[in-house]
Chains A and B, each alone.
Chain A
Amino acid sequence: GQSLEQPSEVTAVEGAIVQINCTYQTSGFYGLSWYQQHDGGAPTFLSYNALDGLEETGRFSSFLSRSDSYGYLLLQELQMKDSASYFCAVSPGDNFNKFYFGSGTKLNVKP
């Protein structure tokens, strides 16, 4: 089986930095993905880490530690439009056709 754990909700102010954590347990592992979803909208892909370390894409960065089964999404210079839910996701090693999402972290950005 597999499980992905994320905090349910995080609040931060505009201009700040916020980190959203994800710990996973899977039977085998290919990489960790992050998705953003605004209320009622379609999830959109943000980033992917296959190897340990930090990947940076503009204001967003994602980190992976395979030995700790842990990753995080870092959002810098927060803007009001970043208020959304953020999901981590994995393909388990027993069947790489599957793709599982965590329960999501709702980010509230306040002025």
Chain B
Amino acid sequence: DSGVTQTPKHLITATGQRVTLRCSPRSGDLSVYWYQQSLDQGLQFLIQYYNGEERAKGNILERFSAQQFPDLHSELNLSSLELGDSALYFCASTPRQEVAAGELFFGEGSRLTVL
């Protein structure tokens, strides 16, 4: 157990809908990363927050947005969902602004299925 909690674990929805994925980082970690992993694909970096502020953006679609709240939990909002958005969405945390010594702590992921 990494200490990173993601909810929901599974989510099934329809095209055009909007969903919110939630992540609670490890106690004391200030930085949250979001990744998308489509079937049998690699981990695509979406966005990173540090202590409530967006610090880095990756390949995140305009239909997607995220935020980190004062209690450090983070939410990833996916709107106007398309079939291709079906994927595992991972949240990861780390204590510092950058990934010190290359180590990120991952949650178990939220599996989104868009029908």
Q: Measuring CB to CB, which residues of chain A are less than 8 angstroms from any residue of chain B?
A: 30-33, 40-45, 47-48, 50, 87, 89, 91, 95-104
Contact = CB atoms under 8 A, between A and B. Distances in A.
Contacts of B35: 101
A47 to B, nearest CB: 8
A102 B97 CA distance: 21
A42 B106 contact: yes
A32 B102 CA distance: 7
Interface string B40-81: 011101001010000110100000000000000000000000
B115 to A, nearest CB: 19
B50 A99 contact: no
Contacts, number: 70
Contacts of A32: 102
B104 A45 contact: yes
6 contacts: A42-B90, A43-B90, A44-B2, A87-B42, A97-B56, A103-B42
